[in-house]
Amino acid sequence: MESKLDIPLFIEDPDRIPTEAVPENYVAYTLKHQEALPPVTWSNWYKELHWLHVFIIFVPPTLGLIGAWSTPLRLKTAIWFVVYIHLTGFGLSAGYHRLWTHRAYKASKGLEFTLAILGAGVVEGSIAWWARGHRAHHRYTDTDLDPYNADKGLFYSHIGWMIFKPRRKPGPADVSDLRSNPIVKWQHKYYLPLAFTIAIALPTAVAGYGWGDWRGGFVWAGLLRLVVSQHSTFCVNSLCHWIGDKPYDDKHTPKDNVITAIITMGEGYHNFHHQFPMDYRNGYKWYQYDPTKWFLWTCEKLGFATHLKTFSDNEVQKGELTMQLKRLRHKQEALFWPSEKSDLPVITWEDYQRQAESRALICIAGFIHDISDFFDKHPGGPHLLKKNIGKDATTAFFGGLYDHSHAAHNLLAMKRVGILLGGAPHGLEEKAVPPSQHLRVTRHSELPSPGNEYSEIPP
Ligand SMILES: [Zn+2]
Ligand SMILES: [Zn+2]
């Protein structure tokens, strides 16, 4: 069937699809036509391990923990551990992520070179490999073309996607800018010796030459620092899609959370980041913990970084408002509201008066209210209610006797049982509509616009 449409069986690059051949949904189309390896199961998992990744992820913590057993942590080495975790972390967050993957700013050659070297110390592959996967992650978030699809579970999005051979290639993403970047090419070419030097040799040498703690430098600043750095970054793909709120959009899994921001050097405002990926900040608000944002701001002041990109506040706030309205709508729908006019029986003035002889009915602002269960609860006493039964008490309610509170008006509206034929002479909106309904969250499809052919006005 598909061959008649002259669409290639698997579209390698969505940017080069001829317009007439564009499928309805690229991801669904590709997943249907691209062959994937069989899933990893309990019976085949050991055959599907990616041994290089297994080595990188499991050997450093094993050696580090064995070493820590017999290697006391000296104060200077502990301080070096913290300093070095931030330096290499900036290589990943400010370099790999915000500079090369998202082009959130322009870096001087000196800064770019430094970040390329430091980033290698987290041993998560070269910039070229990492940015390729991360661009696919943003482009195909929460689908099988996303290399660390969060919908496949916390373990998968944390390390599962690396320790097993991938079931299919990540979705195509344009990395032509990185292919022509000389620093990215250089780092890719010398990645293995660079990674070993920066991850292990350099921190060991600093502690060794600096204060004679060769063993501590190797175990703490080298191995264990590497493990913490790696899992901190892995958390961006796992925890940042699991824990937190969605203040800007709820279409996909990314979330904002201060704890994950602390764990990941500021990358935890991941809901914002997926909405505005080219913004140099992940923590959009000035007080949000994002040391990478502060680092880049400082680099700009020192002249090492320029063109720090920020998304328009107007658009950011639009996203924020949409999510706030969704929450308010949810709250609105959970409450009980007065009967709509169209649901109430229409009765004549004579009928109202006749029925009021045997039932405690009061007419206010064109609505008939049954107040028989309210006599004892009326703060002004039952006598004021009794004397208005069968009458039009609109003026009395709105100031003639007492100018009732908004809460009283809201409560009154809950007691509506009918509507007076011909309405009320006091047909002012603020009297007929209770204060709780002056402002309401309404879906576009519910708006009674004449041009809205999709309008579904509730009866
Ligand atoms: Zn993400
Ligand atoms: Zn990103």
pLDDT digits (tens, 9 = 90+) for 375-423: 889 888 888 889 899 999 998 899 887 888 999 999 999 999 999 987 7
Domain-ending residue, one of 258, 289, 321: 321
Q: Which band of pLDDT confidence, cut at 50, 70 and 90, is reported for residue 24?
A: confident
pLDDT in the model for residue 424 = 60
Q: Are 220 and 81 in contact (CB under 8 A)?
A: yes
pLDDT digits (tens, 9 = 90+) for 266-307: 999 999 999 999 999 999 999 999 999 999 999 999 999 999
β 416-420/346-347 pair status: parallel
Domain-ending residue, one of 291, 321, 351: 321
Per DSSP, the three-state class of 64 is helix
Token reading at 24: 């309805």
User: Which bound ligand lies closest to the C-alpha atom of 141?
Assistant: 1
pLDDT in the model for residue 453 = 54
Q: Which of 434-440's residues contact partners 24+ apart within 8 Å by CB, and which partners?
A: 434/338, 434/406, 434/409, 434/410, 435/406, 435/409, 435/410, 436/337, 436/406, 436/410, 437/337, 437/338, 437/413, 440/332
Secondary structure of 177-243 as H, E, C letters: HHHCCHHHHHHHHCHHHHHHHHHHHHHHHHHHHHHCCHHHHHHHHHHHHHHHHHHHHHHHHCHHHCC
pLDDT in the model for residue 12 = 65
pLDDT digits (tens, 9 = 90+) for 84-120: 999 999 999 999 999 999 999 999 999 999 999 999 9
User: Domain for residue 235, yes or no?
Assistant: yes
Domain-ending residue, one of 264, 290, 321: 321
What is the distance in A from the centroid of ligand 1 to the CA of 13?
Answer: 22
Residue 327: CB atoms within 10 Å: 14
283 and 346 both lie in a single domain: no
pLDDT in the model for residue 459 = 43
User: Which bound ligand lies closest to the C-alpha atom of 157?
Assistant: 1
What is the distance in A from the centroid of ligand 1 to the CA of 274?
Answer: 6
pLDDT in the model for residue 16 = 67
pLDDT in the model for residue 1 = 41
Q: 25-29, 45-49, 191-195, 455-459: which range is least confident on average? A: 455-459
| HSE (side-chain half, CA atoms, 13 Å) at 187 | 32
What is the distance in A from the centroid of ligand 1 to the CA of 172?
Answer: 17
Q: Are 311 and 273 in contact (CB under 8 A)?
A: no
The answer for residues whose C-beta is within 8 angstroms of residue 359's C-beta and 6 or more apart is 370, 372
What is the distance in A from the centroid of ligand 1 to the CA of 17?
Answer: 26
pLDDT in the model for residue 376 = 87
pLDDT digits (tens, 9 = 90+) for 35-80: 888 888 999 999 999 999 999 999 999 999 999 999 999 999 999 9
Residue type, 319: G
Token reading at 284: 């959009």
Average pLDDT, the chain: 91
Q: What is the Cα–Cα distance from 284 to 282, expressed in whole angstroms?
A: 6
What is the distance in A from the centroid of ligand 1 to the CA of 245?
Answer: 14
User: Domain for residue 363, yes or no?
Assistant: yes
What is the distance in A from the centroid of ligand 1 to the CA of 411?
Answer: 47
432 and 311 both lie in a single domain: no
Distances (CA, A) of 318 to 312, 324, 393, 400: 10, 10, 44, 44
178 and 63 both lie in a single domain: yes
pLDDT in the model for residue 232 = 96
pLDDT in the model for residue 6 = 53
What is the distance in A from the centroid of ligand 2 to the CA of 138?
Answer: 6
User: Which bound ligand lies closest to the C-alpha atom of 102?
Assistant: 2
pLDDT digits (tens, 9 = 90+) for 135-176: 999 999 999 999 999 999 999 999 999 999 998 888 888 899
User: Which bound ligand lies closest to the C-alpha atom of 173?
Assistant: 2
pLDDT in the model for residue 8 = 52
What is the distance in A from the centroid of ligand 2 to the CA of 282?
Answer: 9
User: Domain for residue 192, yes or no?
Assistant: yes
Token reading at 317: 């706030």
Rounded mean pLDDT, 166-192 = 93
Q: Which domain holds residue 369?
A: 341-436
311 and 381 both lie in a single domain: no
User: Which bound ligand lies closest to the C-alpha atom of 147?
Assistant: 1
pLDDT digits (tens, 9 = 90+) for 202-221: 999 999 999 999 999 999 99
User: Domain for residue 176, yes or no?
Assistant: yes
Token reading at 329: 């709508």
305 and 177 both lie in a single domain: yes
pLDDT in the model for residue 400 = 81
165 and 304 both lie in a single domain: yes
User: Based on the structure, what is the number of domains in the chain?
Assistant: 2
308 and 199 both lie in a single domain: yes
Rounded mean pLDDT, 4-23 = 62
What is the distance in A from the centroid of ligand 2 to the CA of 137?
Answer: 8
User: Domain for residue 298, yes or no?
Assistant: yes
359 and 261 both lie in a single domain: no
What is the distance in A from the centroid of ligand 1 to the CA of 373?
Answer: 56
pLDDT over 60 at 455, yes or no = no
379 and 274 both lie in a single domain: no
315 and 217 both lie in a single domain: yes
What is the distance in A from the centroid of ligand 1 to the CA of 156?
Answer: 13
95 and 203 both lie in a single domain: yes
136 and 256 both lie in a single domain: yes
What is the distance in A from the centroid of ligand 2 to the CA of 97?
Answer: 6
Token reading at 344: 């109430």
User: Domain for residue 327, yes or no?
Assistant: no
CATH no. for residue 415?
A: 3.10.120.10
User: Which bound ligand lies closest to the C-alpha atom of 92?
Assistant: 2
User: Domain for residue 19, yes or no?
Assistant: no
What is the distance in A from the centroid of ligand 2 to the CA of 182?
Answer: 22
User: Domain for residue 449, yes or no?
Assistant: no
Residue 143: which of 172, 171, 173 has the closest Cα? 171
Helices 51-69 and 225-237, packing angle to 10 deg: 130
